């Protein structure tokens, strides 16, 4: 394996042996050494062996070892000759981040912040096996959620029609088919609509701490000291079940596809099984869009009730970071229809792009990049170069440098006390889950964002500082 330093923020792995394409890592020298400590690079190279891959396999700066693809892995496959792989999407289908701007500043909530956070904690279902959905669904109503996503949630009464134009794909992936999802998956999901889950999922109240581009921030509806609600979660047990179901199904099918890792089990995109998985994945993604819609609207209602005032809101954007999308991209001067896998990577389309929402067409699509618990988060916007360099993709967060078990052994409760001293209210069902997610278990989000900017993939628009965090 030969790694070549292209620039301070780009490192290439040359094509050799049976690799079909080279690989590229967006990183710096310091993070590269950390990446080498697990199977991340091995998993990145494994992607290059998959049939139909075009241009190169990519790793974002928050990349680390995952299942199949590394977290932070991006790869695009020719729609006619390529494959689709559940391991390139992940178990938490359409895990994503929603940013909602509130019509109030920090000074308006400061005296009642603790009361607000406690109310949000009580009214937001959380935990790995939570069956306490905000809005349980089943039968035809669940099928509507799976088919129409956030639009179905708005129809029920969670949010407003205007929200939909500020969600990736308007909150609904076309091609979803509820009949391709198992009854077990539906049973799990129906009990969890409007729930955070566990792990790194969260509900936060942040404040706009710094603005880097006033014009773009204004277009996003953001100003200094404004409060922003962040929601990070996905398709819950439904998506997990769908991923597991199709991995098992694909392992019993032989299309003559040789993969270097059984976690990369794949089928041709246009095969019967490929189409079925894609339809099930789209339905799972729609569930996730609806899930974040329900959680955020319930949170806004709760804030209104505690403060006894009509707090208005403006959805900035809702993006997913575990997904496969059919998109057109220019490869070697030719427009190609591709299936782009983004595993722990966020779409960041630039100004003027036809898939950038109309409301943001002149400035570019917002890309919400959360930090670790207690650290800054950022809202960025893609550059025109991002389409050429990474199929319109950037990082999805800070990225772990330490597994949960090691974090439990390495950090003590005084870490949480330190966060409280910094004025951050943190609530969670257990101390264990908090210790697993402490900032020290993650890469420095400022370094991640500096790499994204240094590689000319995106620009910072605003920085957000957390003041209240609810962990799953």
pLDDT at 331: 96
Task: Report CA torsion sign: 141, 145, 150, 152.
Answer: negative
Of the ranges 34-48, 70-84, 119-133, 249-263, which one carries the lowest mean pLDDT score? 119-133
Query: How far apart, in whole angstroms, are the C-alpha atoms of residue 365 and residue 372?
Result: 23
CA-closest candidate to residue 451, choices 127, 59, 74: 59
Q: Are 427 and 118 in contact (CB under 8 A)?
A: yes
pLDDT at 472: 80
- Other beta carbons less than 10 A from residue 355's beta carbon: 14
pLDDT at 130: 66
Work out the angle between the directed axes of helices 236-251 and 183-190 (0-180°, nearest 10).
160
Mind listing the pLDDT tens digit for each residue in 406-417? 777 667 666 777
Domain count for the chain: 1
Question: Taking residues 41-53, what's their average pLDDT?
Answer: 98
Query: How far apart, in whole angstroms, are the C-alpha atoms of residue 58 and residue 261?
Result: 18
pLDDT at 413: 65
When pLDDT is cut at 50, 70 and 90, the band that residue 61 belongs to is very high
Q: Which residue has the tokens 């096996």?
A: 129
Q: Is 390 exposed, middle or buried (0-12, 13-18, 19+ CB in 10 A)?
A: buried
> Is pLDDT above 70 for 349?
yes
Paired with 329 in beta bridges are 336
The per-residue pLDDT of the chain, averaged, comes to 94
> Is pLDDT above 80 for 404?
no
- How much of the chain exceeds pLDDT 70, in percent? 98
> Is pLDDT above 80 for 244?
yes
pLDDT at 418: 77
pLDDT at 373: 80
Phi, psi (deg, nearest 5) at residue 64: -160, 175
Which active-site residues does the annotation give?
396
> Is pLDDT above 90 for 469?
yes
> Is pLDDT above 80 for 97?
yes
Q: Which residue has the tokens 């950090």?
A: 411
Backbone dihedral region for residue 59 (phi beyond 0: left; psi -120 to 50: alpha; all else: beta) = beta
Question: Taking residues 104-133, what's their average pLDDT?
Answer: 91
* Cβ neighbours of residue 167 closer than 8 Å, sequence gap 6 or more: 98, 150, 289, 293, 315, 317, 318
Sequential DSSP letters for 23-65:
EEEE--HHHHHHHTTSSHHHHHHHHTTSTTB-S-EEEEEEEE-
Domain range for 361 = 3-471
Mind listing the pLDDT tens digit for each residue in 284-338? 999 999 999 999 999 999 999 999 999 999 999 999 999 999 999 999 999 999 9
pLDDT at 429: 83
Cα torsion 316, 319, 325, 327 to 10°: value is 30
- Enter the pTM of the model: 0.96
Pairwise pLDDT comparison (177 vs 422), residue with the higher score: 177
Q: In this structure, what CATH number is given to the domain that contains residue 334?
A: 3.90.1860.10
């Amino acid at each position: 394996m030969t790694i070549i330093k292209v620039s301070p923020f780009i490192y290439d792995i040359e094509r050799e042996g049976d690799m079909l394409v080279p690989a590229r890592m967006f990183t710096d020298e310091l993070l590269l050494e950390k990446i080498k400590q697990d199977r991340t690079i091995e998993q990145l190279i494994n992607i290059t062996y998959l049939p139909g891959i075009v241009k190169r396999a990519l790793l974002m700066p928050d990349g680390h070892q995952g299942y199949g693809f590394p977290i932070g892995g991006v790869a695009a496959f020719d729609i006619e000759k390529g494959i689709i792989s559940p391991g390139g999407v992940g178990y938490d289908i359409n895990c994503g981040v929603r940013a909602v701007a509130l019509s109030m500043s920090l000074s308006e909530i400061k005296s009642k912040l603790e009361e607000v956070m406690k109310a949000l904690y009580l009214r937001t279902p959380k935990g790995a096996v939570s069956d306490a959905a905000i809005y349980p669904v089943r039968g035809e109503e669940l099928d509507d959620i799976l088919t129409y996503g956030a639009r179905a949630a708005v129809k029920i009464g969670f949010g407003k029609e205007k929200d939909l134009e500020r969600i990736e794909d308007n909150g609904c992936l076309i091609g979803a088919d509820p009949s391709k999802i198992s009854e077990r998956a539906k049973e799990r999901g129906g009990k969890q609509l409007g729930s955070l889950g566990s792990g790194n999922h969260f509900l936060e109240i942040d404040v706009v701490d710094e603005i880097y581009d006033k014009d773009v921030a204004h277009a996003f509806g953001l100003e200094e000291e404004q409060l922003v609600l962040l929601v990070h979660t996905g398709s819950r047990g439904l998506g997990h079940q769908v991923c597991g179901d199709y991995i098992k199904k694909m392992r019993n099918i032989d299309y003559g596809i040789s993969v270097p890792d059984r976690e990369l089990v794949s089928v041709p995109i246009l095969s019967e099984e490929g189409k079925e998985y894609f339809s099930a994945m789209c339905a799972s993604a729609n569930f996730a869009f609806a899930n974040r819609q329900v959680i955020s609207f319930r949170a806004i209602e709760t804030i209104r009730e505690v403060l006894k005032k009509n707090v208005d809101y403006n959805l900035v954007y809702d993006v997913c970071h575990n997904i496969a999308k059919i998109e057109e991209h220019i490869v070697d001067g030719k427009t190609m229809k591709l299936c782009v896998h983004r595993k722990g990577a966020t779409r960041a389309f630039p100004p003027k792009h036809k898939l950038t929402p109309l409301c943001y067409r002149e400035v570019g699509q917002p890309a919400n990049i959360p930090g670790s618990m207690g650290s800054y988060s950022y809202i960025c916007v893609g550059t025109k170069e991002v389409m050429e360099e990474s199929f319109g993709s950037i990082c999805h967060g800070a990225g772990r440098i330490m597994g949960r078990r090691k974090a439990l052994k390495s950090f003590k409760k005084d870490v949480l006390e330190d966060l409280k001293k910094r004025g951050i209210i943190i609530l969670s069902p257990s101390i264990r889950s908090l210790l697993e997610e402490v900032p020290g278990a993650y890469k420095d989000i400022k370094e991640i964002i500096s790499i994204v900017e240094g590689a000319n993939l995106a620009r910072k628009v605003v920085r957000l500082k957390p003041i209240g965090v609810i962990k799953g």
